[in-house]
Amino acid sequence: MSFKKTRMEGVFYNSQTGKYMARKTILGKQHKQTFENEAHARVWRATFDGVKSEVKVLTSSTLRHVWKVMQEKHFPLLAGSTKEIWLRRFILLKDLEEFRMEEITTSKITSWVEKNVKFFKSEEYQNGTRGKSKRCNLDNELNLFTTIFNWYKSSEEFEAEAINLSNPVKVKHKRGGFVQVKAVKDKAITLDAALQFFACLKPLYRDLAIFQFYTASRVSEAAGLQWSRVDFENRRITIMETCRWDMTNKMFIELNKCPKNKEARPIFMTDELFDILKRREPFRIAGNDFVFHVEGAPLNYSTIQLNFREGQRISKVPYTGTHILRHGMAKLARSIGGGLDAVVAMTGHKDYKLAAHYSKLDGEYQKEVSQRIMAHVKSTQMGESKFSNVVSIGSFKKAKA
């Protein structure tokens, strides 16, 4: 019987019988056993101690299969940008895709984390051409695996095999996945900086940026706004359609029918928004429903980026990107509105945790609040007698006598 080597050390395959043979040397003695499939041979190699010969039968699907089914069943429910991000994040997880779900244990995740951290800390990677934009941690990939695992557990297709499995990703993996300190970056533009920034933009992109800021929208929502969603009579705008751009070349692909959370978001048309939309009306083209466009063509993200970067450079504001406007309005809404309800009302988030993330209040606000608290403490103390807790010497002597 002729067995040939496979890519797995100590595992051989016979093309005539379709069977696998595993070999393992323990204390100088070679042991071998034949199996119906490679997975069983692999497990025997990993667990055989020279005494036991039983093989644990693997019943769960491989990560590759689960990921494939997830793309077929769950991906149609996701926004296009989310799909692309997940596909990109899965690249590092490919090291685990040939393992069955029950084989991906906590120790397996630990090994995967250690291997990747070692690479990202290596001179080969650190001396690469990525500049300052280097890997800081493995959080995104670990979060994606957890998302896949949770979907796997809740899926009817995998219900029977997943019932006794638990997520192997633990808190220690995120700690162990640390590569280097993430650069501190303020994602929320201040009102003063926003006004400086707007003044340095070309008319079309100024109106787009102001609209995005005042509505706390994603830039894809602002760029995808349709005239059919603008109601001047009732002073109402509905955020519904959004632009989908290619993640590589950042060119327009299609118009999504709804936002990321799948819900329309009504917005009151303030005088400022009214003026922006009235300025855009002369550019309205028959048969084209885009409010913001260039000669009828939807805006490309690359062009928006180019104009925003130029405005940020000229205005010298210490903020970059397009999402700073959504974060900035969220923060402004929280400081003025007094809580997360105000943020949710502006951004449309369903999750208060996300709303809190978007509206983080910085050190200046903490300084202001702490100073107001201490002023209150001092005013309260001033209302009391400074010596109300002091016993006079005369009273003390009398009491003693």
Which residues are 226's β-sheet partners? 290
Tokens of 259: 């936002």
Q: What is the CATH number of the domain that holds 261?
A: 1.10.443.10
Count how many domains the chain has: 3
Q: Is residue 128 part of a domain?
A: yes
- Residue 313, beta-bridge partner list: none
CB atoms inside a 10 Å sphere around CB 360? 14
- Whether residue 207 is predicted with pLDDT greater than 70 in this model: the reply is yes
pTM: 0.62
Q: Do 129 and 227 fall into the same domain?
A: no
52's tokens: 């036991």
**Average pLDDT rounded to a whole number, residues 59-71:** 92
Q: Please give the mean pLDDT across all residues of the chain.
A: 84
Residues with Cβ within 8 Å of 88's Cβ and at least 6 positions away in sequence, in order, are 247
In the chain, % of residues over pLDDT 70? 81
What distance in Å separates the CA atoms of residue 141 and residue 179, rounded to the nearest whole number? 14
Position with higher pLDDT, 370 vs 254: 254
**Backbone dihedral region for residue 109 (phi beyond 0: left; psi -120 to 50: alpha; all else: beta):** alpha
Least confident of 39-43, 118-122, 140-144, 232-236: 39-43
Query: For residue 43, how many other CB atoms are within 10 A of its CB?
Result: 18
Same domain, 31 and 108: no
* Residue 332 CA neighbour count, 13 Å, CB half: 19
Round to whole Å and give the CA distance between 304 and 217.
Answer: 15
Residue range 235-261: average pLDDT? 91
Backbone angles phi, psi at 23, to 5 degrees: -120, 145
Same domain, 168 and 203: no
Q: Is 346 exposed, middle or buried (0-12, 13-18, 19+ CB in 10 A)?
A: buried
- 395 pLDDT band, cuts 50/70/90, is low
Closest by CA position to 264, among listed 213, 228, 300: 228
Same domain, 141 and 259: no
* CB proximity list for 334: less than 8 A, separation 6 or greater: 340, 342, 343, 359, 361
pLDDT tens digits, residue range 5-32? Answer: 887 888 888 887 888 888 888 888 888 8
What would the mean pLDDT of 183-200 be, rounded to a whole number?
86
Domain co-membership, 43 together with 71: no
Domain that holds residue 234: 191-358
- Give the mean pLDDT of 172-193: 87
Strands (DSSP E) along 164-278, which ranges?
230-231, 236-239, 242-245, 252-256, 265-268
Q: Say whether both 228 and 332 belong to one domain.
A: yes
Q: Are strands 19-26 and 11-14 parallel, antiparallel or unpaired?
A: antiparallel
Predicted local confidence at residue 197, as pLDDT: 95
Which of the pair, 298 or 38, is modelled with greater confidence?
298
CA distances (Å), 102 to each of 110, 144, 168, in order? 15, 17, 9
Residue 17 lies in a domain: yes
Q: Are residues 340 and 274 in the same domain?
A: yes
Cα–Cα distance, 395 to 400 (Å, whole number): 9
Domain annotation covers residue 52: no
Task: Give the Cα-Cα-Cα angle 210, 211, 214 (nearest 5 degrees).
Answer: 80
Q: Position 164: which residue type? A: N
Using pLDDT thresholds of 50, 70 and 90, give the confidence band for residue 385: very low
* pLDDT at residue 36 is higher than 50: yes
Q: For residues 73 and 120, state if they share a domain.
A: yes
| pLDDT in the model for residue 145 | 97
Domain boundary among 337, 358, 379: 358
pLDDT in tens, 293-347: 999 999 999 999 999 999 999 999 998 999 888 888 877 777 776 555 555 556 6
Question: Is 58 contained in some domain?
Answer: no
Q: What is the pLDDT of residue 115?
A: 95
The pLDDT, as a whole number, for residue 300 is 97
pLDDT of amino acid 381: 63
Q: How confident is the model at residue 387 (pLDDT cuts 50, 70, 90)?
A: very low
